Structure 1
């Protein structure tokens, strides 16, 4: 039952992200937004995903069982992406982009209903007697929000000076957060976790992964709709192979590969496939043929993304105790969100306008 709850919530997270990704060009055209706005889409996932990873790591403790659980979880993420790409386009075409937010209502109610059956977290009960690290929570949250906004605003010349000032403020708050955590008896984010190679290494790698794959999807959607003149429906169907291949790979290949090769080799393979996909998309012509120019890259991403994501998170959440699993997952996932925001802002030339 726990696995069902976790995977349904994961479906909601990726459903939201992919629906918004398909509708991004329409949203940008109506509201005057650029691709940097996509970085804010991931803020909700940054809160939800660490809790899911912690539950998986502490509930399924045997290596083989845990690997299968991660495979099912990754497959559900891909299913959410598949549903999002399939329905996001038609909704945008028929009813306009505001209609995509109605998807959350039935699925969200279902997820909240399932969450009520989760058993209490013993580790959380053990920590209940400790004081809440309010100063750390305030400074850490403010630092990430301000830095995230500043990174997005750096891409606009008219707001660059303000963005630089905000970035300095955010970094100062981040320094305060580190000092508070170092002195706190009940830190929100124990700094000792950064001395664990699996946690710190996974965080760095995941930041780079986020900086690469989020701009790839954003730019691909813009390229298909603005340069190739796909409708939102056609654009969603064009990237659907990413999710379909992801589902198949997550349910079949990923658990087997984790058992046989280990997380780091799976991660290396996933990163290599993502690099090949991005190199493929980098050569997209002004007048593309879908089967030749677009489809191969989506298949490479469909294999590489689940391998990289599971490969980078598994070492972090399994290298610490149960009480720290959620925090370790949060560190790794937050690193990806920060990397995503930076990647969207420092994106290469927009392929949607590259040939104008």
Structure 2
């Protein structure tokens, strides 16, 4: 809506804002006669709650050129984020099946081989919060492009590795790239689809690609390792990174430079990164050093001290904090991250145990093992599609409770595996139930974790969500792996191994039941998207970086 300025007078009507009463008109600070004329328009902005509000915004002064760059298209943004999330999720599992061949090809020792996994986990988990803050401070599109370039280049270099150290360094560089691009991509999705039915659809697509990448990683890794060679578990990321780069370059708007409230909190960034890295480092090395060993206890104690110092710095710093601690007062953010921590722990452990059960107990080869995970991947996609349809009618909290309970039931069934088990009864049946439940909760989880978060903090919220998942996965795999190993004992017969894996899967079900309880008690009751919000993606105003 255009308004004409009359000399010496401004007739500006303020729309009602439930939280502020009115939106102030920011003056230029110059005399009216000298100030450039500007467009004033009303935009309809969807809030995180049931009410929407009209916000009075001021357009660019007349005569100024708009910021150069591609025109934002929500569909292209969604496609970019989907490819990115599939690639990141794929990389978390695609390498695992090829580890024996990697060890043979490059001459890894038993201990050194674990660093093919740990190098990625340390860099990814340790830098996620910093990556999310960088997206908020320096622009989501810019950080996304840099992360994609680094991830693709590291994958290419890793595929040509000639020494163990080369591959470990490439995996660490992949983790750095993933820590930049994962929160930036999710923040872009959150900003582009701020609410309503389009947001339900967007997060449904994101969750389907996220889960499909993780589940198909086992299948793709097995096929590539058996028929093309282990190097292709690294090369497979290159075309996906190039595709996402092209889509982001052409379809994601650059937007104006983000507003920076002060100098960056360097000390907080160092403390958070060092604390998170040491925490993951101490956890992942419990396969070599027991939980009660001096090495593990010292590492975890130093990590706790560093993270406590980080919290103190964030409370007292005069700079732009890495994380505003008031963010945790948002029950949606706190509850969703606690839920995500438990789900991440359960899923990582369950994938690990089922892969070992199929290969070490039932004697299945790598390629066939990957193929047996295909029903799980398809079930997650089906659950994600179902979550989109149910999300129009049910609140996210309801889907989170039901999804976790259904997944827990599937994992409890997994806990009944036997040494002479059959695919239909011990793998396929529980896979269908668990995967559909997992698909139901993925999209609502991300939507809930970013609900009510200010636009300038969406990157931090996205990084926090990814961090909780990564820490949960590391904790779950280490803790449940230790429990399973203790149950198995020193005699690794198929029967003994089966007992250990079954216990680990049963405990994974218990973690998911706890996640359902958190969703039921911590998250607020909210309604489904209003029926009046039947908005096509193209009708949404894409948020700028």
Provide the TM-score with structure 1 as the length reference: 0.90
Shift of the alpha carbon at 1:19?
A: 1.4
1:32 to 110, 120, 125: 110
Counterpart secondary structure, 2:421: coil
Question: After alignment, is 77-86 or 63-72 more displaced?
Answer: 77-86
Following superposition, which runs of at least 4 residues in structure 1 exceed 4 angstroms of deviation? 24-31, 33-42, 350-354
1:181 to 1:132, Cα distance in 2 relative to 1, 3 A: same
1:338 to 1:276, Cα distance in 2 relative to 1, 3 A: same
Mapped to 1, the partners of 2:352 and 2:114 lie a distance apart of 7
2:349: which partner in 1? 215
After superposition, the C-alpha distances for 1:179-230 in whole angstroms (9 at most, x for unaligned) are 1111223101110101111111111111111111101101111111111111
1:146 to 278, 284, 291: 278
Q: List aligned pairs for 1:207-356, cutoff 5 A.
A: 207-250=341-384, 252-347=385-480, 348-349=483-484, 355-356=495-496
2:254 to 105, 120, 140: 120
1:163: which partner in 2? 296
Mapped to 2, the partners of 1:275 and 1:180 lie a distance apart of 39
Mapped to 1, the partners of 2:424 and 2:254 lie a distance apart of 50
Shift of the alpha carbon at 1:334?
A: 1.0
How many residues are paired up? 353
2:77: which partner in 1? 2
Counterpart secondary structure, 2:304: helix
1:101 to 1:333, Cα distance in 2 relative to 1, 3 A: same
2:232: which partner in 1? 99
Counterpart secondary structure, 1:189: coil
Question: Conserved in 2, the CA contact under 8 Å of 1:46 and 1:334?
Answer: no
Provide the TM-score with structure 2 as the length reference: 0.60
Mapped to 2, the partners of 1:273 and 1:282 lie a distance apart of 14
Counterpart secondary structure, 1:188: coil
Question: Conserved in 2, the CA contact under 8 Å of 1:86 and 1:237?
Answer: yes
Provide the alpha-carbon RMSD of the alignment: 2.5
2:263 to 107, 123, 131: 131
1:26 to 1:269, Cα distance in 2 relative to 1, 3 A: farther
Question: After alignment, is 134-143 or 156-165 more displaced?
Answer: 156-165
1:73 to 175, 196, 206: 206
Shift of the alpha carbon at 1:241?
A: 0.9
Question: Conserved in 1, the CA contact under 8 Å of 2:383 and 2:437?
Answer: no
2:58: which partner in 1? none
1:270 to 1:85, Cα distance in 2 relative to 1, 3 A: same
User: Does residue 20 of the first structure (1) align with residue 104 of the second (2)?
Assistant: no
Shift of the alpha carbon at 1:353?
A: 5.8
2:133: which partner in 1? none
Question: Conserved in 1, the CA contact under 8 Å of 2:211 and 2:377?
Answer: yes
Determine which structure has more spread, i.e. the larger CA radius of gyration: 2
Mapped to 1, the partners of 2:109 and 2:438 lie a distance apart of 30
Shift of the alpha carbon at 1:38?
A: 5.2
Shift of the alpha carbon at 1:97?
A: 3.2
Counterpart secondary structure, 1:154: helix
2:144: which partner in 1? none
Question: Conserved in 2, the CA contact under 8 Å of 1:7 and 1:72?
Answer: yes
Shift of the alpha carbon at 1:338?
A: 1.1
Counterpart secondary structure, 1:218: helix
Question: Gaps (5+ residues) in structure 1?
Answer: none
After superposition, the C-alpha distances for 1:92-135 in whole angstroms (9 at most, x for unaligned) are 1234434311111221222222222321255x6112x6312111
Question: Conserved in 1, the CA contact under 8 Å of 2:387 and 2:441?
Answer: no
After superposition, the C-alpha distances for 1:116-157 in whole angstroms (9 at most, x for unaligned) are 2321255x6112x63121111111011001010101223434
1:195: which partner in 2? 329
Question: Gaps (5+ residues) in structure 2?
Answer: 1-75, 125-174, 497-545
Question: Conserved in 2, the CA contact under 8 Å of 1:15 and 1:84?
Answer: yes
Mapped to 1, the partners of 2:96 and 2:355 lie a distance apart of 7
1:71 to 1:228, Cα distance in 2 relative to 1, 3 A: same
